[in-house]
Amino acid sequence: MSSPPPETPNLRIIWDVGRLSEWARLLADCGQSTLTQGFGYSQAFYTTERWRPRLGIIELADNPVGLVVVTEKRIAKLIRLVRLHRGPLLLPVARKPAVFAMVMKLLRQEYRPGPFCWPALVPEWPAGEEAEAMMRWAGWRRDKAPGYRTIWLDLRQDAAALRAGLAQKWRNALNQAERAGLSVEIDRDGKQQLPWLLEQYQADKAAKRYRGPSPQLVIRMRTGMHKDGDILLLRAVKDGVPVAGIMVLGHGKAATYQIGWSSAAGRSARAHNLLLWRAVQELKAQGREWFDLGGLLPDHAAGVTAFKRGMGGEEVELVGAWR
């Protein structure tokens, strides 16, 4: 793609002028929003890692059609590190290749790589030859990192359809969990369950040496998001003992499965299946329409990947990492 895509729209990105209310409204209007493009995550990431968020409102003919949040950090007050993870987000009516291509070109003009500017992007756009051609047309260079992969569960379906869409093995495990004598405790604030879950999660992450958000980041996200009703924790209890827990974070009309833990007793009782199924019901009751099950690492976490695939959502691979 050496020339502009057909019907290239006249777009612009307005930086540093959006209010929090507009940010929240656009995030909701985008439908399939991502956690990293929300205010709660951006503020928590700044507090813990010192990456400063910068909000851009994407406009077409003076009408907002999307948003993009980049984060920046300075090295020795000279070098500007720039990161974009899982953005931009576009309204459904604007989710067109020509719009995406122009947004990426505008970002390239805003953040031209050089000795004092080091941008790195993981755009929120499905992988494919056309997508890569658009990125090259916009001036970006492909990095070696693989494309981010996740699974989206469409919560606009009714409960019967969602249950029918589960893989047979996953549904059998859910049936087993429902007969295992488990009770489920729900914390819609995070104050009750989060300290306990973080203790289990941190010990499990250290023992198994897998990557995941730091406890400090999780705590800051809870602090910044619970007042908006975007925190959901569920804990499975058997014979009075907690055996599994999960944390889900809301953002607009979507939510993301963030962290989880299960003991041997919880795994035996298939507690995680029950917790995620109950989370789906809770999210639907909140009016959420999409559930992002989190990243997939089939080469490094095959069991977790198979478990998430069993929920029957749509698997998506993004266009990859670019500089």
- 77 against 252, higher pLDDT: 252
Domain endpoint, select from 95, 114, 142 = 142
Stretch 12-24: mean pLDDT, rounded?
Answer: 90
Bridge partner list, 262? 244
Same domain for 135 and 18: yes
Same domain for 193 and 67: no
Q: Specify the pLDDT at position 276.
A: 98
Type of residue at 190: G
Kindly state whether residue 74 falls inside one of the protein's structural domains: yes
Same domain for 65 and 137: yes
Stretch 1-22: mean pLDDT, rounded?
Answer: 77
Of the given ranges (1-15, 119-133, 279-293), which has the lowest mean pLDDT? 1-15
Same domain for 233 and 166: yes
Q: To the nearest whole percent, how much of the chain has pLDDT over 90?
A: 88
Closest by CA to 42, choosing from 65, 71, 8, is 71
Q: Specify the pLDDT at position 41.
A: 96
Kindly state whether residue 166 falls inside one of the protein's structural domains: yes
What values do phi and psi take at 60, rounded to 5? -130, 120
Closest by CA to 247, choosing from 303, 178, 206, 191, is 191
Same domain for 58 and 168: no
Closest by CA to 282, choosing from 317, 244, 250, is 250
Same domain for 156 and 135: no
Lookup: tokens for 213: 């958000």
CATH code assigned at 279: 3.40.630.30
Same domain for 296 and 185: yes
Domain endpoint, select from 96, 123, 142 = 142
Query: Considering all CA atoms of the chain, what is the largest pairwise distance in Å, rounded to the nearest integer?
Result: 66
Q: State the average pLDDT for the chain.
A: 94
Residue spans of beta strands (DSSP E) within 115-267: 117-123, 149-154, 183-187, 231-238, 241-251, 254-262
What does the pLDDT look like over 47-61, one tens digit per residue?
999 999 999 999 999
Query: What secondary structure letter does DSSP report for 228?
Result: G
Kindly state whether residue 2 falls inside one of the protein's structural domains: no
Q: Specify the pLDDT at position 7.
A: 58
Measure CA 6 to chain center.
Answer: 31
What does the pLDDT look like over 262-316, one tens digit per residue?
999 999 999 999 999 999 999 999 999 999 998 888 777 888 999 999 999 999 9
Domain range holding 120?
A: 11-142
Q: Specify the pLDDT at position 295.
A: 87
Same domain for 251 and 158: yes
Kindly state whether residue 77 falls inside one of the protein's structural domains: yes
| CB atoms closer than 10 angstroms to residue 213 | 18
Same domain for 234 and 138: no
Stretch 245-257: mean pLDDT, rounded?
Answer: 98
Bridge partner list, 316? 150
Kindly state whether residue 195 falls inside one of the protein's structural domains: yes
What does the pLDDT look like over 151-181, one tens digit per residue?
999 999 999 999 999 999 999 999 999 999 9
User: Do you find a cis peptide bond into 195, omega within 30 degrees of 0?
Assistant: no
Q: Check pLDDT > 60 for residue 95.
A: yes
Q: Read off the pLDDT band of 1 (50, 70, 90).
A: low
Domain endpoint, select from 142, 164, 185 = 142
Q: Read off the pLDDT band of 19 (50, 70, 90).
A: confident
Same domain for 306 and 199: yes
Q: Specify the pLDDT at position 4.
A: 57
Same domain for 242 and 171: yes
Same domain for 235 and 166: yes
Give the total number of structural domains in the chain. 2
The answer to whether the beta carbons of residues 293 and 313 sit under 8 Å apart is: yes
Kindly state whether residue 3 falls inside one of the protein's structural domains: no
Q: Check pLDDT > 90 for residue 81.
A: yes
Q: To the nearest whole percent, how much of the chain has pLDDT over 70?
A: 97
Kindly state whether residue 321 falls inside one of the protein's structural domains: no
